[in-house]
Structure 1
Amino acid sequence: MEKTGYIEIRITGSKGNLDLSPGNYDIREVIEVLEQVEGLIVPGDKKDRFPISYQLEAGSVRHVFKTSLQYIIGFNAVVGQVSKYQSVDFLDLPTAKAFETFQDIAFKKNYVFEVKTSLDNTNIVKIDKTTRFCRTEAIWVDAEFYFYGKITSMGGKERSNIHLATEDMGILIIQTEKEYLAKLENNLLYKNYGVRAVGKQHAETGEIDKTTLRFLELINYQPAYDEDYLKELRSKAKNNWSGSIDPDKWLREIRGGYDA
């Protein structure tokens, strides 16, 4: 049987003259925290993740998330590093955004967050209006991307977008103008396409902020294995090598000074 533990997000503060409690804690505030927890605990692939159960308890308000001990141990290490360096710049994007959300709530409502686990000697990080758990904006830069995959959904009532299922990055939700989608004559669903998009990318790690992706262009993409085309390329390369290129000289140039 899978061993479990829990992560606790305790929030203290007040509502007017009343101390914060489950009785005066609004449902929208509950949702605000719940929306961040999956990314906080499991920032990567969520397809086969362990279940995460939830309880709201008194004292002042305690969000308790029970899940696999494997997640608890990993998250405890994250909490320790965040507390030590008082920074979220080194975190995976979903985890960093969760801490940023808690920081924003703490600042706006004068709440105090205390994040810890059920482990003995757990690490603890506290977030209040005096802390600054926000990513360094200069690290995130505008970039252009090309994604390839199968379009699984299009449209949206409030925010129109394209859902593109990719092999290496999962499903990408790319913000797309309604006017563009309305003009499309062909049915693109469940067909393979390329999408040119812009968004934010981490200047040091190369990580893409998937929530910032905006559509630029649709690219016809029908990959096919063409043996004749590959043979032609190999033939051209062979002829070039046998004529104008000195293999020994070329290899020395590639190595640079490594064999000097």
Structure 2
Amino acid sequence: MSLSYILIEKKNRPHISYDIEEGSAKHKFFLPITAVILFKGLTNEIKKRNNLDFLDYKRQSIIDKFQKKAVKDGYIIEFNSSMSKEPSLVIDNTTNFEMIVPTFYESEFYLYGEIYQEGGKNPNLHISTKKYGNLTVSATKEQIMDGEKKTYKPYGIKVRGKRSFEDDSLTDLELIEFIQYKPVFNKSLLDKVIEKASVNLSKITNVDAWLDDIKAEGI
């Protein structure tokens, strides 16, 4: 079973073979029948609705990139599968699918790292995080002046702000509270926790899958 394009996560993408023909390029994916059915169903639904509003952000973004490429370079992009001779979706320079999902969402986040600057005319603090690099967080004078000086010390902070669907970047951050933590290794405490948890952990048949299910989103 083969098809020409499918919307799947990077880590699950199959090997690609290229079949070059006169005036066109075919990108073939060889996949299980279930993936082909999913692909055909998604592209047929896009064609039927003539919009992307039922897709999640990532899939809308992929279709939008094809659409922009077709408009920019005058391409005609056909999505086919071996289940049908007719393309299930065609994108060309007249296609106008609108992305209607929001580009960001507002929420509260926990950030951990070293505060390397605080204060300023418009009060704020700067924190260096492992995942997101240097971030600026607005704060009040009272929040910054309360307690000991925090510059060049490891801190956790609870903030509210916006997170991008496209690249996970954080913007418009406002400080809610400081959470001081001391990353000190305590072997005795760790051994006690492991011993206490071992009874139930030994009953888990697939530890990796279990851990994936309970993982919290870290920043």
Q: TM-score, normalised by structure 2?
A: 0.53
Contact 2:112 2:129 in 1 (8 A): no
- Secondary structure of the equivalent of 2:3? strand
Partner of 2:80: 116
- Structure 2 CA distance for aligned equivalents of residues 184 and 199 of structure 1: 25
Which deviations, in whole Å up to 9, do the C-alpha atoms of 1:162-217 show, x marking residues without a partner? 676xxxxxxxxx6854899xx973457xxx765533146xxxxxxxx253642415
* C-alpha contact 1:79 1:116 (8 A) present in aligned 2: no
Residue 185 of structure 1 pairs with residue 152 of structure 2: yes
**SS of residue in 2 equivalent to 1:124:** strand
Question: 1: CA distance between counterparts of 2:79 and 2:53?
Answer: 18
Matched to 1:211, the amino acid is D
Q: AA paired with 1:8? A: S
Unmatched runs of 5 consecutive residues or more in structure 2: 114-127, 139-149, 181-219
Distance 2:26 2:54 in 1: 27
Partner residue of 1:254? Answer: none
| 1-structure distance, mates of 2:151, 2:111 | 18
CA distance in 1, matches of 2:136, 2:91: 39
Mapped to 1, the partners of 2:97 and 2:161 lie a distance apart of 29
Alignment partners' CA distance in 2, 1:184 and 1:55: 54
Does residue 41 (structure 1) correspond to residue 16 (structure 2)? The answer is no
Give the paired residue count. 152
**Alignment-derived partner of residue 100 in structure 1:** 64
TM-score of the aligned structures, taking structure 1 as reference length: 0.46
Counterpart residue number, 1:57: 19
Residue among 94, 97, 109 paired with 1:147: 109
Residue of structure 2 in register with 1:71 after alignment: 35
Task: Tell me which residue corresponds to 2:170.
Answer: 214
State the superposition RMSD in angstroms.
Answer: 3.9
Q: Tell me which amino acid in the other structure corresponds to 2:8.
A: I
Q: Does 1:125 align with 2:89?
A: yes
Q: Percent identity?
A: 23
Report the Cα distance in structure 2 between the residues aligned to 1:145 and 1:179, rounded to whole angstroms.
14
Distance verdict in 2 for CA 1:175–1:92, change over 3 Å: farther
| Gapped regions of structure 1 (runs ≥ 5) | 10-36, 152-160, 165-173, 201-208, 223-260
Q: Quick check: 1:107–1:128 contact (8 Å CA) kept in 2?
A: yes
Distance 2:133 2:85 in 1: 44
Amino acid at match of 1:185: Y
Q: 1:107 to 1:50 in 2, by over 3 A?
A: closer
